[in-house]
Amino acid sequence: MTKSLLQQRALGALAGVAIGDAMGMPTQTLSREEIARLYGLVEGFRDAVPQQPVSGGLPAGTITDDTEQSILVAHHLIARNGVMDQGVWAQELLAWERDTHARGVNDLLGPSTKRAIEALQRGVPASEAGRLGTTNGAAMRIVPVAIATPAYPLEDLVDAVEASCRLTHYTSEAIGAASAVAAAVSAGIEGARLDRVLEVAQNAAVLGERRGEPAKSGSISARIAEALALAAGRSGPAAAFDIADRIGTSVSALQSIPMAFALLRLTGADPWTCALLSASVGDDTDTIGAIACGMAGACKGIDAIPADAWTFVQSVNGLELGAIVDGLLRIRTKRQVRAS
Ligand SMILES: [Mg+2]
């Protein structure tokens, strides 16, 4: 069966997450200088060096929590017609962490997700648990929400994003960041041009940052706008590194998501270049890569991703995403009919 354009771009988004994640796996948490010393120029998938603190020894092409939790969200949505069940979601995150632990992988729940789940276990209500979550975990696993939800009405998309952030990342910064990424992916899947994708993403950041706990550390929409302005008319590693120095590349939603948007613009939404630059900028490289490359894959579709690279990542991780894409697009179609 030939794939529709919608299927090609939705698969491009999820494949982009996996490729950006896997490319950044060996370099995550390292400084740019350490990356250069240990790996030289990142030109493709690499084995993690043994001394890598999070992924030491993992083979080239291995995905991490970013892709695994995106797939977790996808299955959750498909089983519930697109609706998040906060109690079940908490149990699924815990089960994922137990499974990860059993596999001997160090890459456990991120700081905000961990804190929220622990609060929940102490008896804090689900509505309160995510009030401190300002890191990038909600944005790193938002692509399935974006595939399952049309970009318009934008308020409805932000509602769906907010539901997926509620348990672990219920803050202005995190919801605004995840809304921007979701809007970029959803508009990209619909075939919007890059300029339009960036505009919709910024509008969504403004809507999203009004939700959740008020921002304590800065406005996500302002940071994304700043990062995009820095990237305008530029390209290549030197520009990426300059922007990284100004914007930051940490797990904070206020750094990593604007950085991902800068890379999206710098590369003209080219998934492969996004993945290579993300892996080189330092610190939270795998998540920046998952987000940037996911957005680029949504804009350009699976055919823009080098076929050998995608075959390699699928085989290393045993990924099978066709049914997931179709399940998420079925939800999207139902929502589209309801909204029109
Ligand atoms: Mg990761």
On average, the pLDDT of the chain sits at 95
Q: What spacing in Å lies between the alpha carbon of 129 and ligand 1's midpoint?
A: 22
User: Which domains does the chain carry?
Assistant: 5-339 (1.10.4080.10)
- Sorted by sequence, the CB contacts under 8 Å of residue 44 that are 6+ apart come out as 23, 60, 276, 309
Q: Residue 110 — pLDDT band, cuts 50, 70, 90?
A: confident
Q: What spacing in Å lies between the alpha carbon of 175 and ligand 1's midpoint?
A: 19
Question: In the predicted model, what is the mean pLDDT of residues 283-306?
Answer: 98
Q: What spacing in Å lies between the alpha carbon of 21 and ligand 1's midpoint?
A: 6
Contact 64, 26 (CB under 8 A): no
Q: What spacing in Å lies between the alpha carbon of 25 and ligand 1's midpoint?
A: 7
Q: What spacing in Å lies between the alpha carbon of 336 and ligand 1's midpoint?
A: 32
Q: 10 Å Cβ neighbour count for 58? A: 20
Q: What spacing in Å lies between the alpha carbon of 33 and ligand 1's midpoint?
A: 20
Q: Residue 120 — pLDDT band, cuts 50, 70, 90?
A: confident
Q: Residue 35 — pLDDT band, cuts 50, 70, 90?
A: very high
Q: What spacing in Å lies between the alpha carbon of 67 and ligand 1's midpoint?
A: 8
- Which of the two residues, 227 and 126, has the higher pLDDT score? 227
Q: What spacing in Å lies between the alpha carbon of 108 and ligand 1's midpoint?
A: 9
Q: Closest Cα to residue 313, out of 69, 41, 16?
A: 16
Ranges of H-type helices in 190-252 = 194-208, 220-231, 236-247
Comparing 1-5, 58-62, 229-233, 288-292, the range with the smallest average pLDDT is: 1-5
The predicted-structure confidence for 52-108, as pLDDT tens digits, reads as follows 999 999 999 999 999 999 999 999 999 999 999 999 999 999 999 889 888 887 767
pLDDT over threshold 60, residue 180: yes
Contact 286, 20 (CB under 8 A): yes
pLDDT over threshold 80, residue 340: no
Question: In the predicted model, what is the mean pLDDT of residues 19-46?
Answer: 97
Q: What spacing in Å lies between the alpha carbon of 161 and ligand 1's midpoint?
A: 20
The predicted-structure confidence for 157-171, as pLDDT tens digits, reads as follows 999 999 999 999 999
**Both tokens of residue 5?**
């354009």
- CA 60 to CA 44: how far, in whole Å? 9
pTM higher than the cut 0.85: yes
Question: In the predicted model, what is the mean pLDDT of residues 222-250?
Answer: 98
Q: Residue 185 — pLDDT band, cuts 50, 70, 90?
A: very high
